[in-house]
Amino acid sequence: MKLSRLLIALISFLWVLVFIGTLLIVIQSTRDFLQKTLESHAQDTATFLGLAITHSGRVKDVETIERMTAAVFDRGYYTEILVKSMKGAPLVSKRVEQAVQGVPDWFMTLPLIALTTPRMNAIVMDGWIQAAQIEVVSHPGHAYSELYRISVRSTWVLLVVAVLSLVTVLIVLRFALKPLDDMEQQAINISKRHTKPRQGSTSGIGGVPRIEPGGILDVNHPLPLSKVMIVCSNCGKPTRIGHRTLENGRRVRVCKQCGEQMEAKS
């Protein structure tokens, strides 16, 4: 493989790794944020509902507790709200299995994407006595919708940026490596020649003719010196050669880039 193609393939591979890594970091960061938001949302709701029931003064009124619980649950942000006694007997239970809208099933089953819905709780007090316990589970539908939207948008944005930057780098590399390709092509200047078996000159005792086998032969061609440039020892750049006549009449070679003499000064 040519050196230029090897460099392009290596840079393209690294670009793909950077794209995938950046996308995974964005998705993972968003997922962690939404996971903490679900926990905080459930805990805040449980605390709020517990304080509301406590300050209502009707801790033992199940009908009042149910109305207050329904007012919170009907907003649609929860999978379950359970109010139970301290002995575990359920007093009010609200639960719904609502499908996530607008998000593919395969997306929610990915190990990197899957969200957990923690069960957060709070205590309802009746004076100094713990009267009941509230458990709240947030619905992950809104979190999945937001995560899917950010993932799709991030994928397209990063993909467009990656493609444009990669194309730019490849174009620059192609122009930068063109002299190297030409040099390599001239240095490896080997052509294939297809030959048939033929009878060569006689050799040995008795003049037995020698048979030259046919096949595909590699024929080396000379490297034209006009294709090679000298690197100036003064400026370090590849350059063509100019000539200058010194005061003593001596003709010397000079660098076309910096104008300095390229031969030992005398």
Higher per-residue pLDDT: 204 or 245: 245
Higher per-residue pLDDT: 196 or 157: 157
Tens digits of residue pLDDT in 103-116? 888 888 888 888 88
Residue 223 confidence (pLDDT) above 50:
yes
Tens digits of residue pLDDT in 134-154? 999 998 888 889 999 999 999
CA atoms within 13 A on the CB side of 33: 9
Predicted confidence at residue 246, as pLDDT, reads 83
Q: Where are the beta strands (DSSP E) in the chain?
A: 78-85, 90-95, 119-126, 129-138, 190-195, 198-203, 208-212, 215-220, 230-231, 238-239, 241-245, 251-255
How many H helices and E strands in the chain?
Answer: 5, 12
CB-neighbour burial class of residue 123 (10 A; exposed 0-12, middle 13-18, buried 19+): middle
Domains of the chain: 3-169 (3.30.450), 229-255 (no CATH)
Percent above pLDDT 90 for the chain: 19
Higher per-residue pLDDT: 233 or 79: 79
How sure is the predictor about 242, in pLDDT bands with cuts at 50, 70 and 90?
confident
How sure is the predictor about 210, in pLDDT bands with cuts at 50, 70 and 90?
low
Higher per-residue pLDDT: 199 or 29: 29
Tens digits of residue pLDDT in 63-99? 888 888 898 888 888 889 999 988 888 888 998 877 7
Predicted confidence at residue 82, as pLDDT, reads 92
Helix (H) or strand (E) holding 165: helix 141-176
Q: Yes or no: say if 201 and 207 are a contact pair by the CB < 8 Å rule.
A: no
Predicted confidence at residue 128, as pLDDT, reads 83
Tens digits of residue pLDDT in 4-62? 677 778 888 888 898 899 989 999 999 999 999 999 999 999 999 888 888 877 777 88
Residue 174 confidence (pLDDT) above 80:
no
Q: Yes or no: say if 132 and 60 are a contact pair by the CB < 8 Å rule.
A: no
Predicted confidence at residue 266, as pLDDT, reads 47
